[in-house]
Amino acid sequence: MNERNHSRRGLLKQAGLGVGLAATAPLSVGTAHAAGSSKTKQLLETDVLVVGGGPAGIGAALGAARTGSKTLLIESCGFFGGVAAWSLGMPINQMRPESKPRSVVHELLIKKLLAYGDQAVSIGQHQLYCNVDYLKVAILDALDEVDCKYLVHLSAVDALLESNRVTGVVVSTKQGLATIRAKVVVDCTGDADVAYFAGAETLMETVEPRMPNTMLLNLANVSPEQVRRSSTRDIARRARSKYPLIPKSWLLRPVSNCHHYHSNHTGTRDIGRFDMTDPFERSQAECVGRRQALQMTQAMREFGGEDIKNIELVGTSTQIAVRETRRLIGVYILTEEDAAKGNKFEDTIGWRSGYLDLMGYKFTGMRVHDVPYRSILPVEVDGLLTAGRSISATHVAMAAGKSMGNCVATGHAAGLAAAMSANKGIMPRALKVAELQNALRRDEVDLTMGGKIQENVTKDRGV
């Protein structure tokens, strides 16, 4: 496994800071903000705190709040949905594999979208094609239905710890730093931020290429027929000497019931490998992505011929789409073999379907495979669960589960486990998995899917 072992404690030790911090904060780095600092105030207290409002966070928040547990969802952006909401039309894959309902949580979100009619969503073989502004409101509707509280524009910047237990997070607000305390925290940041802040060990690929990051485009003033007649591969071949940042090719896909098109492409793959947890590299990737989007548009206008010479750039995504950063080292680490063979586990709490897709580096089929409870549970840190693309998995195995419907599923399980643990007054690692499995079955999760070969997985709505 060509991956770097990360932890905040280890990083500080390498930087020569470990001894001094140990003397002043013997519990952990995360206590620095928590121990009565005059610059922080307690903002809220809750049973379950879900950090990160993307697909995993939505699943976790809905799963927890449906039990009646006091649940709070926080998000750094001004809306919920993560990449589903700021991708400008990227399909939300694996929401209804083989056109079958996946859980009551998945279906609640779909119900709220369908309530807004065909302008909001159309449903494919497994994916949702959404107008993202309808999606943002549909998510709020779903959260309101289950009485989940939520706050936007809050970034978690540290973890609160007592001994080896996460008891909340420190957030950055316009009024300064504040704390939110919780009985159980679910890390749905996509980057394992809370786990990292708490000192839990994480992984990140260092040898094989990490998946690229993409600034998505929204385009207009072109017809379906004109798009079909155009070849972006030919455009790229002719235009790259003038526009060196453009990919080798890209696709234009229609936004749901709209005359706009979106482009999800290989982004930074041919530009360089970026560590998207590093502030300097992330800034570089974000800025080069915006230049790339303009160059792609200009290349189509100048080298696309009569059909797309008048294509217009409507907008770019709120931020660059990040596919791979840190992942938790959990009690069990999912592997490529688990995905390829469709392995089953006695402690399954869900499953992942779709493709093993490293976005330009590797693309193969796989079997539906189980996610064990051990893969959302840190090895040592208590009071914390993870969900989404930062669960415990190798570089390749992570790519097998990054589809958004899969992230909703692991979020659902993590949120439900967090709520059950909070209600019982126990740590998540003490929760009986059989009880969690029974609760998931009541939420209409089929836990027998492991090993199945998914039908019609390659079908997609083309241009």
* Res 74: pLDDT: 98
Given a cut of 50, whether residue 108 has pLDDT beyond it is: yes
Residues 32 and 167 in one domain: yes
Residues 286 and 340 in one domain: no
Angle (CA) 7 352 273, round 5°:
45
Contact of 46 with 74, CB cutoff 8 Å: no
Residues 390 and 453 in one domain: yes
Strand order through the sheet with 217-220? 253-254, 261-263, 217-220, 312-316
* Helix, strand, coil percentages, rounded to 5, for the chain: 35, 25, 40
Q: In which band, very low, low, confident or very high, does the pLDDT at 3 lie, cut at 50, 70 and 90?
A: low
- Model confidence over 195-212: pLDDT tens digits? 999 999 999 877 777 888
Mean pLDDT for the stretch of residues 257-273: 87
Q: In this structure, are strands 384-386 and 176-187 parallel, antiparallel, or unpaired?
A: parallel
Exposure string of 295-333, with b = 16+ CB inside 10 Å and e = fewer, is bbbebbbebbeebbeebebbebbbbbbbbbbbbbbbbbb
Residue type, 28: S
* Region of residue 231 (phi > 0: left; psi between -120 and 50: alpha; otherwise: beta): beta
Given a cut of 50, whether residue 9 has pLDDT beyond it is: no
Residues 244 and 131 in one domain: no
* The last residue of a domain, from among 316, 339, 358: 316
Residues 80 and 159 in one domain: yes
Residues 28 and 141 in one domain: yes
pTM of the model: 0.90
Residues 7 and 150 in one domain: yes
Contact of 217 with 262, CB cutoff 8 Å: yes
Residues 332 and 190 in one domain: yes
Contact of 196 with 6, CB cutoff 8 Å: yes
Residues 16 and 91 in one domain: yes
* The last residue of a domain, from among 316, 342, 366: 316
Between 242 and 31, the higher pLDDT residue: 242
Query: In this structure, what CATH number is given to the domain that contains residue 139?
Result: 3.50.50.60
Total count of domains within the chain: 2
* Res 360: pLDDT: 66
Residues 204 and 116 in one domain: yes
Residues 331 and 275 in one domain: no
Q: Choose the weakest-confidence range: 1-5, 124-128, 303-307, 415-419.
A: 1-5
CA distance 195 to 158: 10
Task: Write out the residue range of the structural domain in which residue 132 sits.
Answer: 1-208+323-463
Q: Which residue has the tokens 């592997």?
A: 335
- φ, ψ of residue 353 to 5 degrees: the values are -130, 170
Residues 327 and 296 in one domain: no
CA distance 242 to 221: 24
* The last residue of a domain, from among 262, 283, 316: 316
Taking alpha carbons only, the member of 196, 186, 217, 218 closest to residue 415 is 186
Contact of 311 with 178, CB cutoff 8 Å: no
